[in-house]
Amino acid sequence: MLTQTVDYYLKIRRACGFKLGCQGKLLQSFARFSDLRRKHYVCSDVAIEWAGLGSSVPQRARRLSEVIRFSRYMRAEDPLHELPPPVFGIEKRLRPIPYIFSQDEIQRFVQAATEIRCHSFRGKTYSTLFALLACTGLRVSEATALRFEDIIPDGLVIKGKFRKSRLVPLHETAEAGIHRYLEHRRSYAPHEDHVFISLKKKPLFPWDVYRTFKTVAKKIGLERKPDPPRPTPHSFRHTFAVRALQSCTGSRDQITKHMLALSTYLGHCKIHHTYWYLEAVPELMKDIAQRCETFFKGGHP
């Protein structure tokens, strides 16, 4: 059964630190599709037929690319697995244009979060959470996973992707804000060790944050637009990264060191994920173009 082979493949890859959430679901769907056709090895025709069920060409290319990666791996053990040709083209994952908050928008957002109706503790929780995202650039999942033991005198210990941990220092104002929240938080649910909790005294989930973000954004007139860039909770992280790069001045060596430090701080597994911000934000590209022009005219970049 190909479903068993896929389960084996996912187990091995996940043991290496890969989460394979969406990818795993796609491969399990393909395996069920193949088993129904009594194909217990990767068959090119069946793979192309399954991938063709995607609603768009990029989606079909992605579906088939997942099967191709899976087949390449499994062929090392069993050559009966066929390697489908990329008939829908090469998979291209274009990152959307990031939404960058202004300082005023962040202040209004945090203030509006404190005024959430239902319960004052809920307002304190989300205003503190959104402020923390804005001043640290944490992922939403990293913030909701924080526990008391992760708050140390030097900052926050973040358990990120691929089971790696990093230290995120806190500005004294952010540290004071966290401790003010914890004074209310400890008495509300003393037996739960997650920092951010819901009114049910349970840990917050990322989808709770996304739902509340949408409510607060609508309240301050920052509604989701039909075309990018669109504000999301991840926009706090984008804004932090862009402002950090905009504040960098000096020689090329200093900029390179700054970029490496920022990549480590953000927990990027590959530095090109950090360099993406240079091309994603017009203001940063304009700065680069001006530096290049100065260099070619004989000045210092």
Region of 20 please: left (phi>0), alpha (psi -120 to 50) or beta. Answer: left
Residue 268: active-site member: yes
Q: How high is the pLDDT of residue 74?
A: 92
**In one letter, which amino acid is 153?**
P
Classify burial at 206, counting beta carbons within 10 Å of its beta carbon; exposed 0-12, middle 13-18, buried 19 or more: middle
Model confidence pLDDT, tens digit, residues 110-167:
999 998 877 788 999 999 999 999 999 898 999 999 999 999 999 999 886 656 788 8
Model confidence pLDDT, tens digit, residues 8-63:
999 988 887 778 888 999 999 999 999 999 999 999 999 999 999 998 888 899 99
Residue 139: active-site member: yes
Residue 161: active-site member: yes
CB atoms within 10 A of CB 260: 12
Which of 63, 124, 139, 185 is labelled catalytic?
139
Which of 219, 268, 273, 291 is labelled catalytic?
268
Give me the phi and psi of 190, to 5 degrees please. -65, -20
Which of 69, 161, 258, 291 is labelled catalytic?
161
Residue 122: active-site member: no
Which of 63, 81, 185, 237 is labelled catalytic?
237
**In one letter, which amino acid is 226?**
P
Which of 69, 75, 108, 234 is labelled catalytic?
234
Residue 147: active-site member: no
